[in-house]
Amino acid sequence: MNRSQILLEENQYQLLKQISKSRRASIAKLIREAIDIVYKLKSNRKSKTTLSRLAGIAKGTGEAVARNHDHYLYK
């Protein structure tokens, strides 16, 4: 492990201190966990294809449009 020094805003430090006490974990451990979470989220976003990012952007009635797509495309 490498030692690092960071500067936190007062509210960030107080929040970490409070979580640290409730979870009985060091502030350093909480920061390491936060970094891991952010890294995983960003990695997951990068792994998605452009088409998969489009899924769910439209709103509908909930009707099964995909099964009868010709009906909706060629009305």
In angstroms, rounded to a whole number, what is the distance separating the alpha carbons of residues 15 and 10?
A: 9
- Residue 66: what pLDDT? 72
**Domain encompassing residue 16:** 7-46
18 belongs to a structural domain: yes
User: Is residue 41 situated within a structural domain?
Assistant: yes
Q: What is the predicted pLDDT for the residue at 42? A: 73
Provide the number of structural domains found in the chain: 1
The more confidently predicted of residues 73 and 40 is 40
Determine, yes or no, domain membership for 56: no
Going from the C-alpha of 25 to that of each of 47, 55, 73, the distances in angstroms are: 32, 39, 57
Question: pLDDT tens-digit profile of 11-66?
Answer: 999 999 999 999 999 999 999 999 999 888 777 666 566 667 667 777 777 676 67
In a domain, 60, yes or no: no
Q: Which residue carries 């936190």 as its tokens?
A: 8
Domain assignment of residue 55, yes or no:
no
